[in-house]
Amino acid sequence: MNKSEICKILNIEYPIFQGGMAWIADGKLAASVSEAGGLGIIAGGNLTGDAVREQIKIARGLTKKPIGVNIMLLSPYVEEIAKVVVEEKVEVVTTGAGNPSKYMQSWKDANIKVIPVVASVAMAKLMTRLGATALIAEGGESGGHVGELTTMVLVPQVCDATNLPVIAAGGIADGRGMAAVLMLGACGVQMGTRFLSAEECTIHPTYREKILKVGDLCTMVTGKRSGHPIRSLRTDFARNYSKAEYGGVSDEELEQMARGSYREAVVNGNLNEGCFLCGQIAGMVNKVEPAKDIILDVMQGCEEVLKRSALWVK
Ligand code: TUI
């Protein structure tokens, strides 16, 4: 395949980002993706600034290639992480779950390439105006915090609203998905759920087994009442949370149920108290393999369908 514009801007080989999955995307996973030619991204999640710094150092010990840090804007440690990425001279910052406006100038001053996740055209326009390097347009098929729109409708509208390179995310796990979003105007993809099956991804065996086994209807969205909708596996925990949400349980009790639930899933594989974040595409993730093989499989699959696509025209 020809080189994507985002590869030239970021100095990477393949236009594939690994999503900054909270509690999951550590320095080891990020380094393996970057080393394989994609962009590995360390999840800031709810880590402290120093914990993020430690993961950056781990990644730097494993690869010389560019790496990214995702800053989850609802984190209580967002201010310290915003400084750590500058001090550690991280090449790329992605943001999620909010508006990163107040940090953009300081990152740009440090020559960091800033690539916010947007879930609406309005946010895409604002980020373009504030000098973002590129945008990640993430549809609600993704795992974790989701916006209103699907990838299919968000990506072309974001592409029309900006002159920046657009990376598509949400519901993409193979070459067909990648080819499809290239048709919508994107120049690359971000995948989270597919990388849950990477050999280098450290999650509890129960989490891993679920991802490999589940089918098309495996996820649900909870948390709409709190204003922070979250897509996760349809487990007993998610069903109970949903019942509580619509059954008049107090905000405090709901908060108590959710507290620590991402970590509980990733570290302890606890199906009763853990929230297993997962995208709708998990039904297509069936095999554990090195991050490198995942990237090559998606690139080869994409090239194959793009070549065949010429058959549609006279
Ligand atoms: O951020 C994600 N996915 C996530 S974050 C997360 S941890 C979390 N903890 C507590 C509450 C909520 C989440 C788990 N998964 N994806 C990127 C993403 N960003 N998806 C949607 C958005 C988004 C939504 C609204 C980005 C900007 C935005 O702007 C709203 C505004 O106007 O401030």
Query: pLDDT tens digits for 120-133?
Result: 999 999 999 999 99
Over 90: is that where the pLDDT of 248 sits? no
Q: Could you please report the per-residue DSSP string of 97-128?
A: SS--HHHHHHHHHTT-EEEEEESSHHHHHHHH
145 Cα–ligand 1 center, Å:
5
Mean pLDDT over 80-101 rounds to 98
Contact 294, 194 (CB under 8 A): yes
Cβ atoms 84, 52 nearer than 8 A: yes
Q: Which residues line ligand 1 (CB under 6 A)?
A: 22, 72, 74, 96-99, 117-119, 123, 138, 144-145, 147, 228, 277
Residue nearest to atom 3 of ligand 1 (CA): 145
Detail the DSSP E strand segments found in 32-187: 40-43, 67-72, 92-96, 113-118, 135-138, 144-145, 166-169
CA 132 to CA 104: how far, in whole Å? Answer: 8
Q: What is the pLDDT of residue 65?
A: 98
Residue 256: per-residue pLDDT: 94
pLDDT above 90: percentage of residues in the chain: 99
Q: What is the pLDDT of residues 255-311, one digit of tens each?
A: 999 999 999 999 999 999 999 999 999 999 999 999 999 999 999 999 999 999 999
DSSP SS3 for 75: coil
pLDDT band for position 48 (cuts 50, 70, 90): very high
Alpha-carbon gap, residue 298 to 178, rounded angstroms: 7
Question: What's the rounded mean pLDDT across residues 80-97?
Answer: 98
Q: What is the pLDDT of residues 148-180, one digit of tens each?
A: 999 999 999 999 999 999 999 999 999 999 999
Report the SS3 class of residue 49: helix
**Backbone torsion region of residue 246, taken as left when φ is above 0, otherwise alpha when ψ lies between -120 and 50, otherwise beta:** alpha
CA of 32 to the centre of ligand 1 (A): 25
187: pLDDT strictly greater than 90: yes
- pLDDT of 79 > 90? The answer is yes
CATH class of 5-202+285-312: alpha beta
Task: Identify the band that residue 91 occupies on the pLDDT scale cut at 50, 70 and 90.
Answer: very high
- 2-21 residue pLDDT tens: 999 999 999 999 999 999 99
Q: Environment class of residue 256 by beta-carbon count within 10 Å: exposed (0-12), middle (13-18) or buried (19+)?
A: exposed
Whether the Cβ atoms of residue 87 and residue 73 lie closer than 8 Å to each other? no
Please tell me the predicted confidence (pLDDT) of residue 22. 97
Strands 166-169 and 188-191: parallel
CB 163 within 8 A of CB 174: no
Per-residue pLDDT band at 38 (split at 50, 70, 90): very high
Boundaries of every domain in the chain: 5-202+285-312, 219-277
Cα 217 to ligand 1 centre (Å): 22
Q: Which residues of 283-313 are buried (b: 16+ CB within 10 A; e: fewer)?
A: bbbeeeeebbebbbbbbebbeebeeeeeeee
Cα 98 to averaged position of ligand 1 atoms, centre (Å)? 6
> Using CA positions, which residue lies closest to atom 24 of ligand 1?
97
Give the model confidence (pLDDT) of 208-230 as tens digits. 999 999 999 999 999 999 999 99
Provide the greatest CA pair distance for the chain: 62
**pLDDT attached to residue 237:** 97
